[in-house]
């Protein structure tokens, strides 16, 4: 099931998407009566054309976006870093979240804004001290993410809150897939149509059970929290006017343009 959050006449709604288009520009959405994270799926009977709605970020994290750094060996190597011995965790604020086709704002404080295509996990249940064998019980579904990074600020600051946390630095979308085996799916990124990243989730250093068990060993995850799982090699710079598209096999494509704030 593909769960989308969308707006019609500026009113946010939830629905189940039927489409063969990875970006959801063509197809239909069956409207739900409420957010399915908190109530069972209930259809209103209304059905809309995707061309007539605006897809939003499929979830606004209730409290946080938790991210795993350097979870692909090749990505760690391309930045001159060692492979971590345990998951490297950092946070993004929920104010960094935007949706498909929303603009990624290029801050004036950076000269090196970069894309990082990633698989994102959407949490469906409160969890703390989660055993690895029970992770599937707390996962609501998966979506596509761009862990936008001001690379120069990441290096100069010594910690990553500013470099990773600007408004618009966490595009999510186009929807949440609740029935997807993500143990070995392809993650690709293009910039203005040119291939940049190409990896598979089977290349994770720390797999999803390890990641969620580690995170919940020190913090409680809440319904709607999002976990970014790391990016393959091939990260690189974006400039205003560029369009970055991140695709995950069997899930969909998240596309955003880089803009300058007016």
Give per-residue pLDDT as tens, 134-179: 999 999 999 999 999 999 999 999 999 999 999 999 999 999 999 9
Instruction: For the full predicted model, state whether its pTM sits above 0.85.
Output: yes
Looking at residue 10, its pLDDT comes to: 86
Find where tokens 């709607």 sit: 224
> Which residues are CB-neighbours of 139 under 8 A, at least 6 positions away?
121, 122, 123, 124, 208, 212
- Which helix (H) or strand (E) segment is 156 a member of? helix 151-157
Calculate the CA dihedral of residues 105, 245, 178, 5 and round it to 10 degrees. 40
Calculate the CA dihedral of residues 230, 233, 239, 241 and round it to 10 degrees. -80
User: Encoding tokens for residue 88?
Assistant: 């490297």
Q: What is the DSSP letter of 239?
A: -
Whether the CB-CB separation of 146 and 174 falls below 8 Å is answered with no
């Amino acid at each position: 099931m593909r769960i989308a959050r969308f707006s019609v006449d500026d009113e946010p709604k939830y629905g189940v998407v039927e489409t063969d288009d990875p970006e959801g520009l063509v197809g239909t959405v069956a409207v739900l009566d409420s957010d399915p994270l908190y109530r069972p799926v209930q259809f209103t009977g209304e059905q809309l054309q995707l061309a007539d709605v605006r897809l939003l970020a499929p979830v606004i994290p209730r409290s946080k976006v938790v991210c795993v750094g350097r979870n692909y060996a090749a990505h760690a190597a391309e930045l001159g870093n060692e492979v971590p011995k345990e998951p490297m965790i950092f946070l993004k604020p929920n104010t960094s979240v935007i949706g498909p086709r929303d603009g990624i704002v290029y801050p004036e404080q950076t000269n090196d804004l970069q894309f990082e295509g990633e698989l994102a996990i959407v949490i469906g249940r409160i969890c703390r001290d989660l055993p690895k064998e029970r992770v599937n019980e707390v996962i609501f579904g998966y979506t596509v993410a761009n862990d936008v990074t001001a690379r120069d600020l990441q290096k100069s600051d010594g910690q990553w809150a500013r470099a990773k946390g600007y408004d618009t630095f966490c595009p999510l979308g186009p929807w949440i897939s609740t029935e997807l085996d993500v143990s070995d799916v392809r993650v690709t990124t293009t910039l203005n149509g040119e291939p940049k990243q190409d990896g598979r989730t089977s290349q994770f250093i720390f797999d999803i059970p390890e990641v969620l068990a580690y995170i919940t060993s020190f913090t409680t995850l809440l319904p709607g929290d999002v976990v970014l799982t790391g990016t393959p090699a091939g990260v690189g710079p974006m400039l205003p006017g560029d369009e970055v598209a991140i695709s995950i096999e069997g899930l969909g494509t998240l596309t955003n343009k880089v803009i300058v704030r007016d």
